[in-house]
Amino acid sequence: MSTIAVIDYDMGNLHSVCKGLEKAGAVPKITDSPTEIEKADAVILPGVGSFDPAVQHLRSRHLETPIKQVIASGKPFLGICLGLQILFESSEEGKEPGLGIFPGKVRRFKSEPGLTIPQMGWNQLELTQPQHLLWSEIGSQPWVYFVHSYYVDPIESQVKAATVTHGHQTVTAAVGQNNLMAVQFHPEKSSTIGLKILSNFVSKVIPQHLAFAV
């Protein structure tokens, strides 16, 4: 079985993510050890909370370099919610620099009449990379669960894997580039569709795992 490191930096609902991975056939390992992150077949960076504390916690645990090394190595990597946002350069939510994996900024939803901020609940994705591995067999406009007041604004539009419309604002809901994937919504809270998305991620891991086992 494939081992997936779930990074622990005190900013995520780790156990819900792990349950979803177990149902998808993977072996999740909650860890903040750079060595265990390096040894894993794939890595997930979850996150719930605010931008500045998140990057501060990562850096205090000396995890910034291991995360960048894992991504550069080509191993499958999935960011979830805040774990998507801190992959960008900066955020309107705080002053700390992000990891800068993706050029761009995290922005707050603009207020408009009748708009609820944060966006909390189910919404439909518009798939802008419809052939992306994560979206295999989930339909063209799947419903997923969001809880967020901020969204990522990539400079390079081609990395957008999905968008979502909240009020009159259409924003990035997922990014994808080679081995690196990240989503603003919570797949672990998105019922059957979310479980399928996690299963699709696991399916990218298993061939590598088996190849090393041969």
Strands, sheet with 77-80, edge to edge from the N-terminal-most edge strand: 27-31, 3-7, 42-45, 77-80, 180-183, 169-177, 160-166, 119-127, 143-148
State yes or no: is 186 an active-site residue.
yes
Residue 178 CB-density burial (10 A; 0-12 exposed, 13-18 middle, 19+ buried): exposed
Whether 156 is a known active-site residue: answer no
Question: In 3D, which of 179, 147, 177 has the Cα closest to residue 47?
Answer: 147
Q: Is 81 marked active-site?
A: yes
Q: Which of 81, 92, 112, 156 is the catalytic position?
A: 81
CB contact at 8 A, 191 and 142 = no
Single out the residue of 21, 16, 165, 150 nearest to residue 86, CA to CA.
150
| Catalytic residue numbers, as ranges | 81, 186, 188
